Amino acid sequence: MKRTTKISSAVIKRLPRYRRYLYELKRKGVEKISSKEFSEIIGYTASQIRQDLNNFGGFGQQGYGYSVEGLYNEISGILGLDKDYKMVLVGAGNLGTAIANYIASYKGGFEMCAAFDVKENLIGKKMNGYEILDNEDLVDYVEENKIDIGIICVNKENAQAVADRLTFAGVKGIWNFAPLDLEVPERVAVENVHLSDSLHSLAYHIKDIEKANSKKTK
C-alpha cells in the first residue's frame, strides 16, 4: 500500500486512540463501522475521521464502512505494534513498580526484561518475578540483551545521566517519566509522561470552566 511520506504529528497522536476504540469494538464482535457511527463513540467528527484515515490510503468503502479488524491491524502496523520490544526499567520505586505491573499486564509486544536501581536495599529483591539488578550493570545488560526501550522512573536529578547510559548502550527509544526534557541523539526516540504538565492542564481546565460558569450566572 502506498503511503504519503509525512504524516502530521497531530494525526499520529490520534492513532493510539483510534486503535483503542477499535480494540473495544473488536472485543464486542463489531465487524464493520461507518465513519458516522465511529464518530459518535470516539468523539471526533466523521469528516475528521475520514480525513485522518485517508492519510494511510483509506480503508473504507463508500456506503459500506470500515472493517474494524482490518483497520485495527493496519493502525497497529503503522504504529509499529506488529513488532516485539524488549524493555528495561530504571528506578524501582513506587512509580517504577506501577509501570512494571502495567507492562506485565499489557497484552502485546512489550516485554519487560529487567529492572535496575542504585539503592542497595532494593538490589537483589524481586519485582514482578524478576530480580532488581545493580544500576552499575545497566550498559552491559542492555548491550548483551539487545534491549529496545529504556523506561526512566528515577528523579529529575539523575534522569539525564540514565538517558546518556541507555543511549550509549544502544536503546532505540526512551519512555521518560522524569519531569525534564532529555537530550538524546536523533537516532533515539523519546516519549515523555510529564505528570506535572498534565496536572497543570487539569488546573487550567477547572479554572476555565469556573470562569465560563461565573459569566453565565452574571
The residues binding a second copy (CB under 8 A) are 12-13, 15-17, 19-20, 43, 78-81, 83, 85, 93-95, 97-99, 101-102, 106, 110, 148-149, 172-173, 175, 179-181, 186-210, 213
Q: Compute the C-alpha angle 201/76/151, nearest 5°.
A: 55
| Total Cβ atoms within 10 A of residue 162 | 24
Shortest distance, position 136 Cβ to a second copy, whole Å: 25
User: Of how many residues is the chain composed?
Assistant: 218
Select 136 or 197, whichever has its Cβ closest to a second copy: 197
Select 78 or 123, whichever has its Cβ closest to a second copy: 78
- Candidates 81, 88, 80; CA nearest to 147 is 88
Shortest distance, position 62 Cβ to a second copy, whole Å: 28
The DSSP symbol for 128 reads: T
Select 16 or 136, whichever has its Cβ closest to a second copy: 16
- Candidates 149, 150, 112, 142; CA nearest to 130 is 112
Select 9 or 62, whichever has its Cβ closest to a second copy: 9
Q: Containing H/E element for 36?
A: helix 35-42
- The dihedral built from the CA positions of residue 200, 201, 206 and 208, taken in this order, carries a sign that is positive
Shortest distance, position 78 Cβ to a second copy, whole Å: 7
For residues 131 and 125, give the distance between their C-alpha atoms in angstroms, rounded to a whole number: 6
Shortest distance, position 110 Cβ to a second copy, whole Å: 7
Select 83 or 125, whichever has its Cβ closest to a second copy: 83
Shortest distance, position 111 Cβ to a second copy, whole Å: 13
Amino acid at 38: F
